[in-house]
Amino acid sequence: MESTTTHALKEWAIAVDALERGKTIMLLRKGGIREEGKRFQVTYNQVLLYPTYEHQQPHLLKPEYASKVEPVTSGWHPETVRIGSWAEITDILAVSDEAEVEALLPYHIWNEQFARERFQWKPSQPLYVLLLRIYHLSQPLMIPYRQEYSGCRSWIDLAEAIALENLVPVMDEINYTKQVAQIRQLVKSV
């Protein structure tokens, strides 16, 4: 592992919070509108988590998460962004069957409508299940928002590198490995 990085994955702030609290190890992605090649692909396997607010949609979240989202106007962004975690993407599972995502419902923060809408958007492309091992930074950082971080895309490079020292895993390796095995089994068995 490098000692610093600028690579970051943009994700809804509510999802970043759930990952950092160990409530989930999973993200579901189809990619942003401005993705390279117009489709989702994993650019980096080790990334900082960059919380976004603009496109969070409470109606696509389970109730316990929906109630924590405060909608913002289009184009809104905070003046500073809290970077509190680093992640290793350990698994990338391509799912093309809605039943597989429904089987995964206990493992993520979204509701059934989210999966349905994601499958209807670009129906020929799979939905990607990313499994992330999350680590807290030794000290969360507040970085200034920059215009180049905006837009509907998954991956950004921060203007300044962030140190990756004294990282603390959110979940111990035994529990993480157990959840990964359960999720892999569900995807294969449906």
- Please list the rounded mean pLDDT of every run of 10 residues in the chain (190 residues): 89 97 93 59 92 90 93 86 97 87 91 83 83 97 93 89 96 97 84
Question: Tokens in use for 32?
Answer: 């942003």
> What is the number of domains present in the chain?
1
Query: For the domain that residue 87 is a member of, what is the CATH number?
Result: 2.30.130.30
3-state secondary structure of 58: helix
State the Cα–Cα distance between residues 105 and 99, nearest whole angstrom.
10
3-state secondary structure of 96: coil
Q: Whole domain around residue 148: which residue ranges?
A: 4-189
State the Cα–Cα distance between residues 173 and 155, nearest whole angstrom.
26
Identify the helix (H) or strand (E) that includes residue 52: strand 46-52
Whole-model pTM: value is 0.92
- Enter the DSSP assignment of 72: -
